[in-house]
Chains A and B, each alone.
Chain A
Amino acid sequence: GAVVSQHPSWVICKSGTSVKIECRSLDFQATTMFWYRQFPKQSLMLMATSNEGSKATYEQGVEKDKFLINHASLTLSTLTVTSAHPEDSSFYICSASSTGELFFGEGSRLTVL
């Protein structure tokens, strides 16, 4: 199947800094990618839909100025957590669609100290 790659797989940062997470579709083009957040031992919550060449669509309750999404090419979407705080610590997962099936990245674990 298609491959979606996330980088970094884990990152530790200090409070107040910004962190960028990349989501790449390795062998297909994705006009739409999705970003999810997963708290420990909880389900995935959709944060936003990333659209190539246009603004992302954020779900209710997600701060768009806090979680900046850029989808500049058909194979790359980035999520930047700005001015990160400990409550932003979470597992972030992206997904992209290929031939009618959604493929998920392996996730990026963010720990904010």
Chain B
Amino acid sequence: AQSVTQLDSHVSVSEGTPVLLRCNYSSSYSPSLFWYVQHPNKGLQLLLKYTSAATLVKGINGFEAEFKKSETSFHLTKPSAHMSDAAEYFCVVSERLGTDKLIFGTGTRLQVFP
């Protein structure tokens, strides 16, 4: 069965410093992986997705993630945090190839301090 593990439930950074949100996955096939962001009481917005093309994926708002098969990781990074980045971030894997059924990680709450 496919799964994702988000290693940190909370991450706090200062504005202007780098962001690292960690995610490890487990999959019996080459997975499709996603990062979604959720602002308070809002729906989810897709930040980026990996679908077996380039291993370094660039997303919106300056975020990027690198698929590392050897480490089964898909960590999300951003060089410089902005106050507006404060939100909940979910690492997500598709349940099966070619399906829209998604399995969500437990989420990482990012706090950004001025």
* Chain A residues proximal to chain B, CB less than 8 Å: 4, 6, 32, 34, 42-46, 49, 91, 93, 95, 97, 101-102, 104-107, 109
Contact = CB atoms under 8 A, between A and B. Distances in A.
B43 A104 contact: yes
A51 to B, nearest CB: 12
B90 A44 contact: yes
B31 interface: no
Contacts of A46: 101-103
B43 A32 contact: no
B100 A109 contact: no
A45 B103 CA distance: 8
A73 B46 CA distance: 26
Given A43-B106, A46-B101, A104-B43, 14 more contacts: A6-B43, A34-B101, A43-B90, A43-B104, A46-B102, A91-B41, A95-B100, A97-B100, A102-B46, A104-B45, A105-B43, A106-B43, A107-B41, A109-B41
Given A107-B41, A109-B41, A101 B101 contact: no
Given A42-B106, A42-B107, A93 B44 contact: yes
A95 B36 CA distance: 13
Contacts of A104: 36, 43-45
Question: Which DSSP category, helix, strand, loop or mixed, fits chain A's interface?
Answer: strand
B17 to A, nearest CB: 25
B42 A107 contact: yes
B42 A106 contact: yes
The 7 residue pairs across chains A and B that have the minimum distance between CB atoms: A106-B43, A104-B44, A104-B43, A43-B104, A44-B104, A97-B100, A43-B106
B45 to A, nearest CB: 8
